[in-house]
Amino acid sequence: MTITTRTVEANGFRFAVDQAGEGDRLALCLHGFPESRFSWRHQIPLLAEMGYRVWAPDLRGYGETEPKPRDVASYLIDRLMEDVAALIDASGAKTVTLIGHDWGAGLAWTFAANAPRPLERLVIMNVPHPAVMNAHLRRSWAQLKKSWYMFFFQIPGLPERLTTANDARAVRRAFYDMAVDKTHFTPDVLDRYARDAQRPGAMTGMINWYRAALRLRGKLAGPWPVIETPTLIIWGEEDSALGVELLDGTEAYVRDLTIERLPGVSHWVQQEAPEKVNPILKAWLSAPR
Q: Which residues are known to be catalytic? A: 102, 210, 267
Amino acid letter, residue 264? G
Phi-psi region of 124 (alpha: psi -120 to 50; beta: other; left: phi over 0): beta
214 CB neighbour count, 10 Å cutoff: 13
- Using CA atoms, how far apart are residues 191 and 78, in angstroms rounded to an integer? 32
- Using CA atoms, how far apart are residues 27 and 21, in angstroms rounded to an integer? 10
Calculate the alpha carbon distances from 214 to 76, 134, 218, 219, 246 in Å.
10, 11, 10, 12, 19
DSSP string computed for 52-108: -EEEEEPPTTSTT-B----SGGGG-HHHHHHHHHHHHHHHT-SEEEEEEETHHHHHH
